[in-house]
Amino acid sequence: MAHDPVLALGLALLVVFLWLIALPIGMIVEDSFTSQPGDSARTGVADGAITGYYMSRALASRMSTILFYAPLWNTLLVAVCASALALVIGALLAWVLVRSDVPLRGWFAVALIVPYMLPVWTFALAWVTLFKNSTLGGQPGWAQALGAQPPDWLAYGAVPTIAILTLHYIPFAILIIGGALRRLDGQLEEAAQILGARRQIILWRIVIPALRPAVLSAGLLMFADAIGEFSVPYILGLPVKFETLSVSLFRAISTQQNGMAAVYAGAVLLIGVITLGIDAWMLREARRFTTVGGKGTITRTSPLHAARWPVFGGIMLLFVVSVVVPLVTLLLSTLMHIPGRFDAGNFTLDYWIGRDLPTVALPNGILFSSEFWAAAWNSVRIAGMAAVAAAALGLLVGYVVAHSSWRWLANALHAITFFPYLVPGIAFAAAILVLFAAPRGPIPALYGTPYILLLALIADQMPFASRVGISAMAQLGPDIEDAARIMGAGMMRRLRVIILPLMKGALATAVLLSFISGIKGVSLFILLAVPSTDVLTTFSLRLVDYGYAQAANAVVLVIALIALIGSLVMHRVAGPGLAAGL
Amino acid sequence: MPDIVIENLTKTFGKGHAVKDVSLTIRDGSFTCILGPSGCGKTTLLRMIAGLERTSAGRIGIGARVVDDAAQGTFVPPEQRGVGLVFQSYALWPHMTVAQNVAFGLRLQRANATARRARTDAMLDTLRITDLADRYPAQLSGGQQQRVALARTLALAPQVLLLDEPLSNLDAALRLAMRAELARLHREFGTTIVFVTHDQWEAMTLATDIAVLAKGEVQQTGSASAIYDQPASRFVAEFIGNPPINIFAAGSDAARALIPAGVADPARVTVGLRPEAMQLSTVNNGQSLAATVTALIPTGGSWVVEMALQRGGTPVLHTTLQRPALAPMQPVFITPQKEGTHFFAPDGRCLPDLSLRSKETSR
Ligand SMILES: Nc1ncnc2c1ncn2[C@@H]1O[C@H](COP(=O)(O)OP(=O)(O)OP(=O)(O)O)[C@@H](O)[C@H]1O
Ligand SMILES: [Mg+2]
């Protein structure tokens, strides 16, 4: 059926995704086994020939501990600790929010989600602002300004990284576990109660086992995300030489060690694939639990009695620590000449709206700085275009999957669009960089142009966008469209007049969510942006590197504001479930 | 009003057959029903006639034109076949009002605005949904949605109207109303109507011609009464009729008692007896089966008598319009009437000559 338009469309999409997703990943894996340009003296073989040099250097050389095992250990340490802590705290909070009579339950249910809507390195910058010590030069931290000298272990490295990631992931755990708890049929518990089981027993024998799939899944997803996390260890790790794999990857690329970068990317990728493989396998297992997903609507609340106000206090404290303190700290920091000195003369609006300041590079407050507006415009433009493009491609993927009589094509599209989900952003960015650093065939070298950011972001958003497209198309069913076809409406006409209007809601949701995640994303862009193509996130990290802490914090606040407003709009429009995204 | 000629039509999905070697002529002007149990391939057959599904083998002709011939590679796309299809789900476009739904096809045909409006109004009027013109499908009842779906399809004046389970979502009163409406449309528009259903009542009441389908194969074609009175196979006899025909297994005492003398291999013949084709009495007339009444079930206007044969076997059901003068646990004698007695070979085929012979012997 050469004239089958669905087949043609499907094949075209497949080619696009093979090029944009499979090819770069394949190339970076290949790079870790081929001698990179300029390395032949070390690898002992010609450029482009197969070599085990990078692997053995990383895994079995005198340098291995420093180069590979220490970052690997740090990565795993951070990921395991942060996800485990977030899981425990999140599960407790989920139970309190869903099942107890703690005051302001409904308000907390939204307020505690806020840290997940903010870019995670907002917290890192706030932490630095507060706890920076003299190990790092430049302006002092607040604690230092107030006369304390925070020890290195508190100021930098593993402890703050874990603490910040934990705070960031707690909302995610609340969303997933709380959702499962809400769907858990209250009758299950009542059935046990009637049989005479005490509350303790019900909790341990009924509730916890029934929630196990959701809890484990939440844990694995957080773990996979933490493995690829770049910005927090990048900001907090440097002064104490604390590196995770993603930071090592970044450094390898910045120093043109492409072979080593490929090895790091491969390691991160492998951990991601294994983790999510376990998750997928467990989800399949979990289908056997039909309980979660039942439609138990009546959830009884358990009175906390005397513990009611202490629990309330605890949650309020968490809210203050994870939302109020970081945001207020950042905000105040952008208003002070010298950090941590709280006297009237020290406050200023210069960093926002000043002009002709006596600094080397950034003579104007960010609101009057052309670099800021250029970066903001880039952010909005790239995230917006990528969000629309990804949603449109997702819709087309959904269309082909729903209509193609060629199962292999549907399966291939399904699988390949999901793949970027398994690949942490920074590894994917490294892969994209390999593909687009040099001209290939008809495609010119895209490094240094905004297009590379755009393409990377589109590919990165495909897992989510294609899931939205597929499920929306599946809900639509074929009849609606066949009814138009039988009257003579061609495929494009049907897409425009029938499918698109019906998908408006789903598409708008997908576009907005993709946009938010594009605006606050950093690990995907940090390798790909150059100063002239900076987006807000990379611009702010550049400011951090230059030591312009106030300006960096101001930019981060702007990003946080955009992300927060977008998420709240989303929350209003689509409900909290969707805000969790993927 | 074109004939639809289907020859040796087969459709396979992967390894399984959805439709298998179906040959069927749908007469010009007939109101044909394709009747069969769920999953027997009815929708698939209809979609192939409409052109929404390609055939795997065989031919479909509409009027003088071959619209699909797998061997020749002929395939006329759906919009060029002059067919209209009303989907089982109605498939109304939820983002368009009733009027927009009806006008959409006309818009595709590039009818000008005035002609479009006139035609739409006429259709809404015909189906008596003019006051619903500005509503969205979600604001309509099932019966109203169905009228919109019909109006939308009829607006294009298809030569062939295909209906997929058209009445299945309606209550009894609406069914009767819609049945009358469909019959009127049939007359008024002179359309060849084909509809599929698994509901024998729908088929018997609406159709002039019925084709019984099972596992993708045509079992029997004919008028409703012909199919009821002269089933071609045990499947058809059992599928049609409510309550279903009583079956006496081959070799059972009851079957032996009912098979006329002189049959070569009576132990291999299964006997079916329609529930209405029997007389009950309290005295044994020599030819009857002894049984005990187990239940009397009122079914609104008629009665079902449930009995257990004294020699055992499955319960026997009898329907009657009069209230039976019987009580549970009372012994009765069943006298079968020859018109409702059918004999089946081990492969399920009906043995009509045996039925004939049994009629003769009874005279
Ligand atoms: N697209 C398809 N792919 C694979 N198998 C299919 C497909 N469509 C139908 N079938 C199979 O073909 C058979 C006939 O399906 P069809 O929908 O025609 O049944 P039906 O008679 O309309 O049933 P119902 O009364 O339930 O609507 C079924 O066994 C079904 O599983
Ligand atoms: Mg059907």
Give Cα separations from A479 to A3, B87, B88, B109 (angstroms).
Answer: 22, 7, 9, 20
> Does the distance separating the beta carbons of B87 and A482 come in below 8 Å?
yes
Query: Does residue B40 have its Cβ closer than 6 Å to ligand 1?
Result: yes
A115 upstream amide cis, omega within 30 of 0:
no
Most confident by average pLDDT, A136-150, A205-219, B173-187, B196-210: B196-210
> What DSSP string describes A447-479?
TTSHHHHHHHHHHHHHHHHHHHHHHHHHHH-SH
Does ligand 1 come within 6 angstroms of the Cβ of B15?
no
Question: Which three-class secondary structure state does DSSP give residue A160?
Answer: helix
Q: Nearest CA to A527 among A441, A435, A462, A408? A: A435
Q: Do B93 and A483 touch (CB under 8 A)?
A: yes
Q: Flag if B51 and A486 touch (Cβ within 8 Å).
A: yes
A481 CA to chain B: closest CA distance, Å?
Answer: 8
- Give me the helices (H) in B14-112, please: 42-50, 98-108
According to the model, what pLDDT value does residue A551 have? Answer: 87
Question: pLDDT at residue B279 above 60?
Answer: yes
Q: What confidence category does residue B293 fall into, taking pLDDT thresholds of 50, 70 and 90?
A: very high
Q: Whose CA is nearest to atom 25 of ligand 1?
A: B38
Distance (Å) from CA B361 to ligand 2 centroid: 45
Task: Tell me the shortest Cα–Cα distance from B93 to chain A, in angstroms.
Answer: 6
Would you state the pLDDT for residue A296? Answer: 42
Q: How confident is the model at residue A289, as a pLDDT?
A: 47
Q: Which residues 79-98 of B are in CB contact (within 8 Å) with A?
A: 79-80, 83-85, 87-89, 91-95
Chain A residues in contact with B52 (beta carbon < 8 A): 482, 485-486
**Contact (Cβ atoms closer than 8 angstroms) between residue A458 and residue A382:** no
Looking at ligand 1, which residue's alpha carbon is closest to its atom 28? B39
Pocket lining: B251 vs ligand 1, CB cutoff 6 Å: no
pLDDT score of A390: 94
Q: Name the residue with the closest Cα to ligand 1, atom 5.
A: B13
* pLDDT of A466 higher than 70: yes
CA atoms lying within 13 Å on the CB side of residue A159: 11
How long is chain B?
363
Contact B152 A498 (CB under 8 A): no
Record the tokens describing residue B361, joined without a space: 């012997």
| Mean pLDDT of all residues in A394-407 | 86
pLDDT at A299: 56
pLDDT score of B355: 62
Distances (CA, A) of A398 to A387, A492, A499, A540: 16, 15, 11, 37
pTM of the predicted structure, to 2 decimals: 0.77
d(Cα A107, Cα A189) in Å, to the nearest integer?
27
pLDDT surpasses 50 at A259: yes
B89, A496 Cβ separation under 8 angstroms: no
Q: Cβ A484–B104 below 8 Å, yes or no?
A: yes
Mean pLDDT confidence for A23-33: 88
**Least confident segment among A30-34, A265-269, A356-360, A409-413:** A356-360
The three-state (H, E, C) secondary structure of B90-130, written as one string: CCCCCCCCHHHHHHHHHHHCCCCHHHHHHHHHHHHHHCCCH
DSSP letter for each residue of A3-43: T-HHHHHHHHHHHHHIIIIIHHHHHHHHHTTBPPTT-HHHH
- The CA distances from residue B247 to A333, B34, B238, B274, B318, in Å, are 90, 25, 8, 9, 12
Q: Please tell me if residue A488 touches chain B, with a CB cutoff of 8 Å.
A: yes
Q: A396 φ, ψ to 5°? A: -65, -40
- Residue B51 with chain A: CB contacts under 8 Å: 486
What digits encode the pLDDT tens for the residues B52-95?
888 999 999 998 899 999 888 889 988 888 899 998 888 899 88
**Helices then strands (H, E): number in chain B?**
10, 19
Q: What is the pLDDT of residue B274?
A: 94
Nearest to A464 by CA among A425, A513, A518: A513
pLDDT per residue over B107-133, tens digit each? 888 888 999 999 999 989 888 889 999
DSSP-derived 3-state class of residue B84: strand
Does residue B170 register a pLDDT over 80?
A: no
**Residue B271 DSSP SS3:** strand
DSSP for A97-111, please give it: HHHB--TTHHHHHHH
Identify which of B88, B93, B108 has the shortest CB distance to residue A488.
B108
Provide mean pLDDT across the span B148-176. Answer: 83
pLDDT for the residue numbered A208? 76
Which pLDDT band, with edges at 50, 70 and 90, does B338 fall under?
A: confident
pLDDT at A103: 86
CA of B156 to the centre of ligand 2 (A): 24
Nearest ligand to residue B16 Cα: 1
How many whole angstroms separate alpha carbon A367 and alpha carbon A352?
Answer: 5
Give the number of whichever ligand sits closest to the CA of residue B48. Answer: 1
Buried b (16+ CB within 10 A) or exposed e, B55-94: bbbbbbbbbeebbbbbeeeebbebbebbbbbbbbbbbbbe
In a mutational test of the A interface, the residue from B93, B107, B120 whose CB has the highest number of chain A CBs within 10 Å is B93
Q: Chain B within 8 Å of A407 (Cβ-Cβ)?
A: no
The answer to whether B234 touches B348, Cβ cutoff 8 Å, is yes
Antiparallel, parallel or unpaired: β B57-62 and B65-69: antiparallel
Checking if the pLDDT of A447 tops 90, the result is no
Q: Classify residue A305 as exposed, middle or buried by CB count within 10 Å of its CB (0-12, 13-18, 19+).
A: exposed
- For residue B45, report the distance from its CA to the centre of ligand 2, in Å: 9
Flag whether residue A501 sits within 8 Å of chain B, measured between CB atoms.
Answer: yes
Q: Ligand 1 pocket, B42 CB below 6 A? A: yes
CA distance B127 to A509: 39
How many Å lie between the centroid of ligand 2 and the Cα of residue B165? 7
Q: How many CB atoms lie within 10 A of CB B28?
A: 12
Write out pLDDT tens, residues A531-578. 888 899 999 888 888 888 888 889 989 998 888 888 778 777 665 543
Map out the domains of chain A with their CATH numbers: 5-38+52-581 (1.10.3720.10)
**Residue B271 exposure: Cα atoms within 13 Å on the Cβ side:** 27
Residue A511 has pLDDT above 60, yes or no: yes
Q: Is the ipTM of this complex over 0.85?
A: no
Question: What's residue A37's pLDDT?
Answer: 83
Instruction: Please say whether the beta carbons of B81 and B2 come within 8 A.
Output: no
A342 contact partners, CB below 8 Å, separation of at least 6: none
Atom of ligand 1 nearest to the CA of B196: 22
Mean pLDDT of A176-190: 74
Residue of higher predicted confidence among B361 and B143: B143
- In three-state secondary structure terms, B309 is strand
Q: Which tokens belong to B179?
A: 């049945």
B13 lines ligand 1 (CB under 6 A): yes
Decide if pLDDT at B226 tops 70: yes
**Is B93's CB within 8 Å of A485's CB?**
no
Residue B174 contacts residue B202 (beta carbons within 8 Å) = no
pLDDT of B25 over the 50 cut: yes
d(CA A419, CA A25): 10
**Could you tell me which residues are beta bridge partners of residue B48?**
none
pLDDT tens for B229-238 read 999 999 999 9
Task: Answer yes or no: is the C-beta of B190 below 6 A from any ligand 1 atom.
Answer: no
Can you read off the two tokens belonging to residue A115? 């840290």
Contacts of B155 in chain A (CB under 8 A): none
Cα(B91) to centroid of ligand 2, in Å? 14
Gap between the terminal Cα atoms of chain B: 46
Q: Is B102 on the interface with A (CB under 8 A)?
A: no
Per-residue pLDDT at A300? 62
Smallest CA separation from ligand 1 atom 12, residue: B18
Q: Which residues contact B52 (CB under 8 A, 6 or more apart)?
A: A482, A485, A486, B78, B85
Asked if B93 and A487 come within 8 Å (Cβ–Cβ), the reply is no
Cβ of B197 below 6 Å from ligand 1: no
The CA distance from B157 to B151, in Å, is: 10
Which chain A residues touch B50 with a CB distance below 8 Å? 486
Do residue A502 and residue B88 have CB atoms under 8 angstroms apart? no
Q: For position B356, what pLDDT does the model report?
A: 57
CB pairs under 8 A, 24+ apart, for A43-48? A43/A259
**Which residue matches tokens 């991160």?**
A268
Nearest to A485 among B78, B94, B152 (CB): B78
Is the model's pLDDT at B189 over the cut of 90? Answer: no
Model pLDDT for residues A263-305, shown as the tens digit of each residue: 998 998 899 888 878 877 876 765 544 343 334 445 567 777 7
Residue A137 has pLDDT above 50, yes or no: yes
Mean pLDDT of A367-373: 85
Nearest to A486 among B79, B92, B94 (CB): B79
What is the number of residues in chain A? 582
For residue A268, give both structure tokens.
């991160």
Q: Is the CB of B51 inside 8 Å of chain A's CB atoms? A: yes
Other beta carbons within 10 Å of A295 = 6
Tokens read off for A79:
């990921």
Note the pLDDT of residue A517.
86
Nearest ligand 1 atom, CA B36: 21
User: Hey, of A487, A493, A495, A497, which one would you mutate to test binding to chain B, going by the most B CBs within 10 A of its CB?
Assistant: A487
Mean per-residue pLDDT over chain B, rounded: 87
Residues 316-355 of A with CB under 8 A from B: none
> Rounded mean pLDDT of B315-323?
91
Ligand 2 centroid–CA A172 distance in Å is 43
- β-pair partners for B273: B246, B341
* Count of other CB atoms within 10 angstroms of residue A177: 25
On the CB side of A112, CA atoms within 13 Å amount to: 31
Q: In a mutational test of the pocket of ligand 1, which residue from B34, B35, B44, B53 has the highest number of ligand atoms less than 8 Å from its CB?
A: B44
Q: What's the 3-state SS for B147-179?
A: HHHHHHHHCCCCCEEEEECCCCCCCHHHHHHHH
pLDDT band per the 50, 70, 90 thresholds, residue A89:
very high
Across the A:B interface, residue pairs with CB atoms under 8 Å apart total 53
Q: Report the alpha-carbon distance of residue B47 to residue B58 in Å, rounded.
A: 15
The whole-chain average pLDDT of chain A stands at: 83
Residues 6+ apart with CB under 8 A from B6: B22, B23, B24, B25, B26, B49, B58, B59, B60, B61
Identify the sign of the CA torsion A469, A470, A476, A480: positive
CA B198–ligand 2 middle distance (angstroms): 9
